[in-house]
């Protein structure tokens, strides 16, 4: 779930870099099953994606990496085949452009832990990136049942229905999507990206005053941040 911390945006780059450097060493140390140099390269890639909003849903860099460390340590304690480890490995496969392999890996993890944090979002992204749009549509109900509170889960589904040309299904889906965004914003009202996505959905329903309200609020919250819908 996206957690935009407005005050964090003003953090100097040098401060973030210093924090990231120290935490990077901790992540590499926690990833004992991977050679240190390889682990460092992979973690740097994942951090770059995190900052772009494509892996983790919290763009506050120190908190993002702290959570990554905790997840890695938890996964290591359960063994290499723990669902958390499989999810991390699937993200690496995705980052390398191996979308089919990433989808296969995360499916295994979800088979054992269907409520795995970010699991259905990753599965949707991997399938969408592989051009397997119908499979994304097929997992829609399971994804929303297990991960519907995380609005990122909705995005690959939305894009896949559009890619398939399922106009009526997409119109019906947008009603559900709006409800998810609205509920999320009750909890995290400062999430500018969610407001942009909600504005787009309102506009698709010709609710233009509400769309303008959300778009204006998003610009107030993050005037320099491009926000949008990606796979």
Residue the block writes with tokens 């340590």: 73
Residues 6 or more apart in contact with residue 35 via CB below 8 angstroms: none
Average pLDDT, consecutive stretches of 10 residues, N- to C-terminus, the chain (231 residues): 39 44 53 56 56 46 53 58 84 89 95 93 96 97 94 95 96 96 95 92 93 90 57 48
Q: Where are the alpha helices (DSSP H) in 164-223?
A: 167-187, 192-204, 208-221
The whole-number pLDDT of residue 103 equals 97
The backbone region for 167, taken as left when phi is positive above 0, alpha when psi lies in -120 to 50, beta otherwise, is alpha
What's the gap between Cα 173 and its chain centre? 19
The backbone region for 70, taken as left when phi is positive above 0, alpha when psi lies in -120 to 50, beta otherwise, is alpha
The whole-number pLDDT of residue 45 equals 58
Q: How many other CB atoms are found less than 10 A from the CB of residue 60?
A: 19
């Amino acid at each position: 779930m996206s957690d935009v911390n407005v005050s964090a945006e003003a953090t100097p780059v040098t401060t973030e870099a210093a924090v990231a450097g120290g935490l990077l060493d901790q992540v590499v140390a926690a990833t004992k099953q991977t050679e240190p140099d390889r682990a460092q390269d992979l973690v740097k890639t994942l951090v770059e994606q995190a900052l772009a909003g494509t892996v983790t849903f919290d763009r506050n860099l120190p908190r993002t990496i702290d959570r990554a460390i905790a997840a890695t340590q938890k996964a290591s304690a359960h063994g290499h085949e723990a669902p958390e480890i499989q999810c991390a490995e699937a993200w690496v496969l995705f980052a390398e452009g191996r979308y089919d392999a990433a989808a296969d890996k995360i499916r295994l993890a979800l088979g054992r832990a269907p409520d795995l944090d970010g699991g259905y979002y990753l599965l949707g992204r991997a399938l969408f990136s592989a051009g397997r749009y119908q499979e994304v549509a097929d997992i829609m109900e399971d994804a929303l049942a297990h991960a519907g509170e995380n609005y990122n889960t909705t995005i690959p589904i939305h894009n896949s229905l559009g890619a398939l040309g399922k106009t009526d299904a997409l119109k019906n889906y947008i009603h559900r999507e709006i409800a998810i965004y609205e509920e999320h914003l009750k909890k995290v009202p400062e999430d500018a990206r969610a407001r942009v996505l909600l504005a787009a959905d309102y506009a698709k329903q010709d609710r233009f005053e509400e769309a303008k309200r959300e778009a204006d609020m998003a610009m107030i919250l993050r005037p320099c941040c491009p926000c949008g819908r990606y796979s």
